[in-house]
């Protein structure tokens, strides 16, 4: 977990870069860039929420903040599970 905490600047940079890719994909009407940005954004958002929910950073947050982060982590986990399911379906179809 501490490795993820130390990588938070990179996680945040990747998140904002994925937002840029989503914007470029929509503006240029290229689905692959849009989807790549969206998938990357969801994965790094999940990692960010993981560091907010558990680890040394979460101990600095209030109990309400930690619980909210955990709720959003579960919801984000469903999105990641759907991404993995779609990836497996594409690989084996």
Binned at pLDDT 50, 70 and 90, residue 93 comes out as confident
CA gap 79, 45 in Å, rounded = 11
Domains: count for the chain: 1
For residue 78, give its domain range: 2-91
Binned at pLDDT 50, 70 and 90, residue 21 comes out as very high
pTM of the entire structure? 0.89
Task: Supply the pLDDT for residue 58.
Answer: 87
- The pLDDT tens digits of the residues spanning 45-88 come to 999 999 999 988 888 999 999 999 999 999 999 999 999 999 99
- Is residue 3 within 8 A of residue 50, CB to CB? The reply is no
């Amino acid at each position: 977990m501490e490795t993820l905490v130390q990588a938070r600047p990179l996680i945040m940079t990747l998140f904002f870069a994925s937002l840029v890719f989503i914007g470029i994909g929509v503006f240029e009407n290229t689905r692959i860039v849009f989807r790549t940005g969206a998938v990357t954004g969801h994965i790094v958002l999940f990692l960010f929420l993981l560091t907010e929910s558990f680890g040394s950073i979460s101990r600095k947050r209030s109990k309400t903040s930690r619980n909210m982060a955990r709720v959003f982590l579960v919801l984000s986990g469903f999105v990641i599970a759907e991404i993995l399911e779609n990836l497996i379906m594409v690989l084996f179809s």
